[in-house]
Amino acid sequence: MSMFVGESLVGEGNEVSHIDLLIGDKNGPVGVAFANALSSQKMGHSNLLAVLSPNLAVKPATVMVTKVTIKGAKQAVQMFGPAQYAVAKAVADSVEAGVIPKDQCEDLVIVCGVFIHWEADDDKKIFDYNYEATKEAIARAMKSEPSADEMLAKKSEASHPFYAG
């Protein structure tokens, strides 16, 4: 398979993390999306590589894309600080744990959509929630979870946390 899709929602309040991600071959559609994300910067949507520290990018190479418009310096620093480190650490830990095969790190890329609420205040929660959500989204992607059977079995009881209807 050339593309794996993962999703996870972790946390609460303004620091809630909602991660959507794609993992796939550099030569496939995820590779194209990765290149487009890095080369198509727009005001308020600065896409960035996930790095453990400056000059230490993770493998597989991971680009973070903003899911909301960044509206100020505080929100930008949260994206380029605790969220960036959380995503990078989750990718590195997923490789270390064997969730992402180490021998495929140079062949794969990740596109990771990250949500930072414009009123988020707690950088530790931003880190913790984004770390857990990214790890979970990666694991789900690599296992193709949920299966169609699981989705169908749970759809009638499912409720969405941001829909009150």
| Order of strands, sheet of 17-25, starting from the edge strand that comes earlier in the sequence | 3-10, 17-25, 108-114, 61-66, 48-49
The CATH number covering residue 28 comes to 3.30.230.60
**What pLDDT sits at residue 164?**
74
Distance CA 102, CA 104 (A): 5
Let me know if residue 16 belongs to a domain. Answer: yes
Do β-strands 56-57 and 108-114 pair in parallel, antiparallel, or remain unpaired?
Answer: unpaired
Let me know if residue 150 belongs to a domain. Answer: no
**What pLDDT sits at residue 1?**
62
Decide if 3 contacts 27 (C-beta within 8 A): no
Let me know if residue 155 belongs to a domain. Answer: no
Domain count, the chain: 1
Let me know if residue 100 belongs to a domain. Answer: yes
**What pLDDT sits at residue 163?**
81
Supply 150's token pair.
Answer: 């699981």
**What pLDDT sits at residue 37?**
95
**Catalytic residue among 18, 45, 117, 160, which?**
18
Let me know if residue 156 belongs to a domain. Answer: no
pLDDT per 10-residue tile (average), the chain, 165 residues: 92 96 97 95 88 97 94 93 97 98 97 95 98 98 95 91 77
**What pLDDT sits at residue 6?**
98
Distance CA 6, CA 135 (A): 10
**18 has catalytic annotation:** yes
Let me know if residue 152 belongs to a domain. Answer: no
Let me know if residue 29 belongs to a domain. Answer: yes
**pTM of the model as a whole:** 0.94
**What pLDDT sits at residue 92?**
98
**What pLDDT sits at residue 47?**
94
**What pLDDT sits at residue 162?**
78
Instruction: Supply the range of the domain harboring residue 125.
Output: 3-145
Let me know if residue 157 belongs to a domain. Answer: no
